[in-house]
Amino acid sequence: MTESKYDLIIVGGGPIGLACAIEAEKKNLKYLIIEKGAIVNSIFNYPLYMTFFSTAERLEIGDIPFNCLAPKPGRQEALEYYRNIHRYFKFNINLFEKVIDVKKDDNSIFQIKTDKQAYQSKNVIIATGFYDIPIEMNVLGENLPKVRHYYKEAHEYVFRKVLVVGANNSSVDAALECWRKGADVTMVIRKNEINSRVKYWVKPDIENRIEEGSIKAYFQSNITEIRENEVEIETPNGKITIENDFVLALTGYKPDLNFLEKMGIQLSDDELKIPVYNSETMETNVEGLFLAGVVCGGMQTHKWFIENSRIHANMILDYISSSK
């Protein structure tokens, strides 16, 4: 392994990681983005026809306009926008390279190891998002091939009996799309209603489909077991068993908290596991190690998103440049 030295290494090539790189360029810092997948990998892995809750201008970075004909941009438009951002700024970025270890040596220099190389850096920003690790249901049969924690498009599920778990945006979008393409859709929802955070133009749609019986829904219910051709559900009226071909367990995702702890970042003792950081500089309890974007919220994955965490880039880089 060869070693390269930098002022800043950014772990994660999503929109916030790119925003940090833009600010690093403005400060004339030698930086590198390391991304384990494609550029803006999380967006790439979104459902094909996903529409953002945010309007286009709220997804902009680097003062580059995001032109969009529709009121809300979709996945394809976002990918095109961020590809163009890279064409414009020509980021120093290594794609399909996974960071394995980040440690600070006795000289206060970070030693970063990936699956391909080793690096040294004075500062590190972790902007890894939260989309990599599904929150599992921990029920018998969850490991069957028919259980999916990610949803791409409806075609695979048409003319089949599909159970969608959850009542958030991803669950609702999948349920509606699968039903419209011809699937027999049932939803299992832990609470007694559709999540209030569901996109305001979609929420009435799913509620009406449930009310008219087009999509079956079991509220205040949980899956207790998944079998090859059926699913067992605990409902307020007792256990039931339904026929089933696929389970879309869209129960949410979480940051790689073990990775944060391995770097020495302290997490809150409660179930939220919020990392310790300075809200003015985004610096963690490890000097020179910063957090940006969704990862700052721990298990509160709905607290930070692109439009309200873009500012992290300015906060971090202003602090780093003033400390040089």
124 beta partners: 9, 289
How confident is the model over 95-119, as pLDDT tens digits?
Answer: 999 999 999 999 999 999 999 999 9
Residues with Cβ within 8 Å of 114's Cβ and at least 6 positions away in sequence, in order, are 34, 94, 97, 98, 99, 100
**Distance in angstroms (rounded) separating the CA atoms of residues 20 and 156:** 38
Taking residue 2's Cβ as centre, other Cβ atoms within 10 Å add up to 6
Which residues lie closer than 8 Å to 270 by C-beta, 6 or more apart? none
Q: Is the pLDDT of residue 137 over 80?
A: yes
Would the pLDDT of 3 be above 80?
Answer: no
Task: Say how far apart CA 321 and CA 279 lie, in whole Å.
Answer: 17
Q: CB neighbours (10 Å) of residue 244?
A: 22
Q: Which of 34, 192, 182, 228 is nearest to 112 (CA)?
A: 34
Owner of token pair 């039931």? 240
User: Taking 80 as the threshold, does the pLDDT of residue 295 lie above it?
Assistant: yes
Q: What is the pLDDT of residue 1?
A: 44
pLDDT at 46 over 60: yes
**Each residue of 247-282: pLDDT tens digit?**
999 998 989 999 999 999 999 999 999 999 999 999
Q: How confident is the model at residue 323 (pLDDT cuts 50, 70, 90)?
A: confident
Domains and CATH numbers, the chain: 3-133+253-322 (3.50.50.60), 136-249 (3.50.50.60)
The four Cα atoms 293, 294, 298, 299 give a dihedral, to 10 degrees, of 170
Asked if pLDDT for residue 196 goes beyond 60, the answer is yes
Rounded average pLDDT over 179-203: 95
Structure token digits, residue 228: 């090859």
- Write out the DSSP string of 169-207: HHHHHHHHHHHHHT-EEEEEESSSS--TTS-TTTHHHHH
Q: Report the pLDDT averaged over residues 220-236.
A: 97
Give the Cα-Cα-Cα angle 162, 221, 134 (nearest 5 degrees): 60
Q: At residue 203, does pLDDT exceed 80?
A: yes
Residue 123 above 60 pLDDT?
yes
**84 pLDDT higher than 70:** yes
Average pLDDT, the chain: 95
Gyration radius (Cα) of the chain, Å: 21
Q: What is the pLDDT of residue 305?
A: 86
Three-class DSSP category at 87: helix
Of 132 and 144, the structure prediction assigns the larger pLDDT to 144
Full-model pTM: 0.91
